[in-house]
Structure 1
Amino acid sequence: MKDTASASPELAAVFERAFAPLEKSVTDKRIPGGVLGIVDLKHGRMTRATGSAQVVPIERPMTVDTWFDLASLTKVIFTTTRILKLADEGTIDLDAPLTTLLPDLRQYNAEAWERKITFRQCLGHQTPFPGVEPIYTYGRDPDLLRAFILQREWKAGPPVYSDINFILLGFALERLAKKTIRDLDPGRGFAWSTDPENSAATEDCAWRQRILSGEAHDENCSALQGSGHAGLFGTVKSVLDFAESLLDGTGASGSAIALMRAPLSNRRTHGWEHPYADWWGGSLCSPGTIGHTGFTGTSLLIDFDKGRAVTLLTNRIHPTRHFDSGILPLRQAVCNLVNQT
C-alpha cells in the first residue's frame, strides 16, 4: 500500500472512510486490488493503492503508479471531449447526421435509419443500435471490420447504452484526422498501450488465450486495433488531472462542460451519466454530478457543485469476469462515503 497526498485534514478524513470499503473488498478477495483517488479544488488531492495488480500466473503489487485499462472511460475522457471540442470549433454540428463525416455509412440504402443518426444522439446513446455486438467474431482485419460496421444493416431497437455509438464517433475522429485512433494523441498522461509489468492485469482471455495486461481488454477494440469506445490507459494521477481540468475549467470550454452536464435523458448527458435511482454513484451525489464507469472495474465521478472528483480504479475482472466481484455496491459505498456530510 502506498499513499500520495497533498490534502487538507478535512479531505484526509473523507478519504479514510471512503477507502475502507475498497480495502475490505480486497481482504474479502472480491477483487485483487485497486486505487482510490480524490481531488478537491479547495482541499487538494489524495490517492492510495491496495492489493495486487496481478495474481495469476504471478503476483504483483498494486501501486499508485499502476496503469489501468480504463475501458469505457475512454468514451468520456477521450471521445466525448474531442467531439465537443470539434463542435465548439464549428467543425461538426452535433445535430447533423454522422454522414457529414461518414458519407459511406449504409451507402447502398439512402433511406437507411443509420444514415439519419446524429452526433448528439450517439453521445447520448439515443439511437436504435443494439447494446452488445461481438464484432470481433467476424474477423481480425481492422479495415474489413470498419467496413462491416459501416455497411451492416443493424437491427433497430429501443435506445440503449451501446458501444456502436462511440465506435462510429471514433470513426468520425479518424476521418477528420486521417489517422487511426491509435495514431491520435491519447491526451496528457494517457496511452493506448502500456508496459505489462506496470499495468493492472485484466482477464485470462479465452479468445486471445492469454492473461491480458497493458493491452485493451475489450475484444471489439482489440480487433479494430483502436476505437472510440474503449482502449485508453491511464493512472490515478492522469484520471484525476483530467477531472480537475474539468472542475477548474481548463480542460474544456464552458460550453462543452455545460453540454457534459446537460441531461439528454433520465440517465445521460452528452457522453456522461447523471444521477438516477440506484445509480452506481450512490444516493448522496449533488445535482451537479456526472460520471461514467468502465467494464474492467474503473469509474470516475465529478461533482461540479462541490468542486470534487473521485476515481475508483480496480482490476475486478482479473482473472475472470465470470465472478461476482461486488463492484456495484463497492462503487456506491465509496461514493456515498465521499459525499457523506
Structure 2
Amino acid sequence: MTQIDARLDRAFASLETAISNGRIPGGVLGLVDADGNRAVRSLGHAQTVPEQRAMTDQTWFDLASLTKVLFTTERILGLAEAGTIDLDAPLTSVLPDFRHYNLDNWERKVTFRQCLGHQTPFPAVFPLYTYGRDPDLLRTFLLQHEWPAGPAVYSDINFILLGLALERIEGRWVRSMNPGKGFAWSSDPANSAASEDCYWRHRVLVGEVHDDNCSALEGAGHAGLFGTVSAVLDFAAEKLAGSGADALIRTPLSGRRTHGWERPYEGWSGGEHCSPATIGHTGFTGTGLWIDFDRGHAWSLLTNRVHPTRHFDSGIIGLRREVGDIINAG
C-alpha cells in the first residue's frame, strides 16, 4: 500500500463512521499529491429517496459554493491578468447601471477585489428566489435593489454580482459559458448524488442545482457547478503544479480570506494541522476542497449531506475538520 493510500484510508474511516451513524447518506474522499499520485474512496448511497442508488468514485455532485473558486474566481482573475478588468476598480466599470438611480451610494464603490474577499457590506443571505422566476427581471432587481449595509461577512451576493459582471463582459449568461475541464452546469440524474427534496420545486433534486437563487437566475456566479471528485482533484493538481492564477489565490486579503478562497484560522474547515500555505473552500451541499502548498497535497470531501433535507444536523463541520486533521497528521 502506498503512503497516499494509507493516509486516505485513515481519513476515510471518519467518513465511514458518519455514514454508518446515519449522519449523511454517502460520500467520496480523494487525495492527490504534487507528483500526481492520487487515491479515492467512496461509500454509502448517492440517493435514498424515493429510490436507493449506491455512491461510486464516478458520482457527479452539485458542488455548490465550490463554484465560487473553481469557476468564478478563476474567470475574474484571468480577466484581470489579461487587463480586461482592474480588480481595484468598482463593479460599475463593467456594470454602469448598478444602483444608477443613486450615484452617491456605497454599492457603486464596491470593487472586484472586495467581492472576491467578501469585504463588502452585503447581507450574508437573501432569498432572491422568492421574488419570482423571471431570470432577466431578477438580474435587474439585484442591480437596483437598495442593499442594507452591514458588517463584512461571507455573502453570496458578492459572487452573484461577479457573475453578472462576467455575463456583461462575455455577452452571455454564466450557464452558457464553458464550466471548465471535467465540469458541467447539470449532470445525468442516473450518475448524480441527490440533494434536497425541495419544498418549492416539489421534487427531489438530482442533477439540477440545489441553490435556490441560482435556480431562479438559471445560472449564477456563486453556485451551480457540477463535477466528480476526479475533476476536482484534477483542478487541485494543476494548482499544486503552479498553473493558473496561483499567486493571488494564495495572497491574503484578510485574516480568513485570500482572493476567492479561505485560509487557515482557528476553527476553519481544513482542520488544525494543515500548513499556513493552505487554501480551501466548502459548499453547502456537503462538498469541499483544500490545497496545502507546503505539504504538496490536496484533498476533497464530497458528500450529499442535504439529502433528503438540509434541516438535520449532519455533523459535516466536524467531519471536515477531522478528515483534514487526519490527512495532515503525519
Q: State the TM bucket, normalised to the shorter chain.
A: over 0.9
Aligned to 1:172: 165
Q: Is the 8 A contact 1:105 1:150 kept in 2?
A: yes
Q: Pick from 78, 87, 98: which aligns with 1:105? A: 98
Q: Is the 8 A contact 1:263 1:270 kept in 2?
A: yes
Aligned to 1:198: 191
Aligned to 1:96: 89
Q: Is the 8 A contact 2:88 2:113 kept in 1?
A: yes
Offset at residue 43 of structure 1 (A): 6.6
Write the distance in 2 (CA, Å) between the matches of 1:174 and 1:249: 28
Q: Is the 8 A contact 1:10 1:43 kept in 2?
A: no
The alignment status of 1:184 with 2:177, answered yes or no, reads: yes
Partner SS, residue 281 of structure 2:
strand
* Matched AA of 1:92: I
Query: After superposition, where does 1:201-280 map in structure 2 within 5 Å?
Result: 201-250=194-243, 252=244, 256-280=245-269
Q: Percent identity, please.
A: 67
Aligned to 2:30: 37
Aligned to 2:21: 28
Q: Is the 8 A contact 1:69 1:215 kept in 2?
A: yes
Offset at residue 9 of structure 1 (A): 1.2
Offset at residue 42 of structure 1 (A): 3.4
Offset at residue 207 of structure 1 (A): 1.1
Q: Deviation per CA, 1:156-207: give whole Å up to 9, x if none.
A: 0000000000000000111111010010000010000111111000000001
* Matched AA of 2:322: A
The alignment status of 1:316 with 2:305, answered yes or no, reads: yes
* Matched AA of 2:316: I
Q: Pick from 273, 276, 280: which aligns with 1:284? A: 273
Partner SS, residue 272 of structure 1:
coil
Query: After superposition, where does 1:36-55 map in structure 2 within 5 Å?
Result: 36-42=29-35, 44-55=37-48
Query: After superposition, where does 1:105-184 map in structure 2 within 5 Å?
Result: 105-184=98-177
Q: Is the 8 A contact 2:36 2:237 kept in 1?
A: no
Write the distance in 1 (CA, Å) between the matches of 2:298 and 2:41: 15
**Deviation larger for 240-249 or 8-17:** 8-17
* Matched AA of 1:162: S
Structure 2 length normalisation: TM-score? 0.99
Which segments of structure 1 move beyond 3 Å, counting only runs of 4 or more? none
Partner SS, residue 13 of structure 1:
helix
Partner SS, residue 206 of structure 2:
coil
Q: Pick from 41, 50, 55: which aligns with 1:57? A: 50
The alignment status of 1:296 with 2:285, answered yes or no, reads: yes
Aligned to 2:61: 68
The alignment status of 1:332 with 2:321, answered yes or no, reads: yes
Q: Is there any run of 5+ residues in structure 1 with no aligned partner, and where?
A: 1-7
Partner SS, residue 280 of structure 1:
coil
* Matched AA of 1:117: V
Q: Is there any run of 5+ residues in structure 2 with no aligned partner, and where?
A: none
Write the distance in 1 (CA, Å) between the matches of 2:54 and 2:12: 17
Write the distance in 1 (CA, Å) between the matches of 2:5 and 2:209: 33
Aligned to 1:4: none
Q: Deviation per CA, 1:21-44: give whole Å up to 9, x if none.
A: 001111111000000000012371
Partner SS, residue 327 of structure 2:
helix
Q: Once superposed, what is the RMSD of the aligned Cα atoms?
A: 0.8
Q: Deviation per CA, 1:196-238: give whole Å up to 9, x if none.
A: 1110000000011110000000000000000000000000000
Q: Is the 8 A contact 1:129 1:165 kept in 2?
A: yes
Write the distance in 1 (CA, Å) between the matches of 2:170 and 2:98: 18
Q: Is the 8 A contact 1:11 1:43 kept in 2?
A: no
Q: Deviation per CA, 1:247-297: give whole Å up to 9, x if none.
A: 1023x0xxx211111111111110000000011110001011000000000
Q: Pick from 71, 76, 84: which aligns with 1:78? A: 71
Partner SS, residue 290 of structure 2:
strand
* Matched AA of 2:288: S
Write the distance in 2 (CA, Å) between the matches of 1:293 and 1:97: 27
Aligned to 1:3: none
Write the distance in 1 (CA, Å) between the matches of 2:255 and 2:113: 15
Write the distance in 2 (CA, Å) between the matches of 1:196 and 1:11: 31
